[in-house]
Structure 1
C-alpha cells in the first residue's frame, strides 16, 4: 500500500482554485451578469483548521484557523455549483459557485476562454513578476583568492 497522494488535479479542481483565488473585482469584470439560479446554501462565513508540515514531509500539525465563506447554488437545468473562498466576501463566493455550476454545462468552452484562461494568464504574469523582483535582490557570495592562499 502506498502513502503517496495523487498530484494530478482534475479540471474542476483547477477552475475552482482559480475562481477562489481570483480578485473579486476582476471576477466581476470578467463575468458581470449572473444567470438565474437557486441558492441552496447561501454564502456563510465559518472557519477551517489549517494544517502544516515542517519541510513538507514531517508529521502534520494544527497551524491555526482561517476564515472561509462557502456557498452552493443550482442552475435552472439542475446543475449544482459549490465554492469556498478565503475571507468573508459573500458576493465573491456566490459568483464563484455560479461559475462552478456553469463550467459543468455546455457553456464551459466559452467560459474557459473568457474567464479561466484570462485568470490563469494573470496568475502566471503575477508569479513571474514576483520571481523577477526576488531575483533582482539575489546576492551571490563568492570567495576571493587571498594572497596567503596563493
Structure 2
C-alpha cells in the first residue's frame, strides 16, 4: 500500500485501535504519528513493529536519550528523513541540546567518512581489535 493510506483512529479496526491506544499511552501523546497510521494497513506488521520498538526503546542498560541519539545517527546514515525528524524530536524531548545534536552530526559524518575509507582501502583488521 502506498503512503497515501493513513488509517485514522476513527476509521481503525478494534485491533488497530488497541495498538494505537498503547502507543498513545506509552508515549503519553494524544495521537499517533503517520508512521503508525501507514503500518496500520497491515495490522500484524503494526503490532510486531510496535511491540519490538517498545521493547528495544524501553529503559535498560542504555538510557532513553542515548537510545534516541543512536536512532538519529542510524537514521541519518540510512537517509530516512521521517525517522530523522521523529527521533530528533524524541531526543530533544529526552534532553538533547543543540550542542549535543551538533556533536552527534559531526560523529555521524566522520564515522561514515572513515567507514568508507576503510572499506575502500580494504584495511586489514588489527590483531588487537579481533575478538577472542
Compare relative contact order (CA 8 Å, sep 6+) and give the higher one, 1 or 2. 1
Fold shared per TM-score above 0.5 = no
Q: Which has the larger radius of gyration?
A: 1
Give the TM-score taking structure 2 as reference length: 0.30
Give the TM-score taking structure 1 as reference length: 0.27
Q: Which has the higher strand share?
A: 1
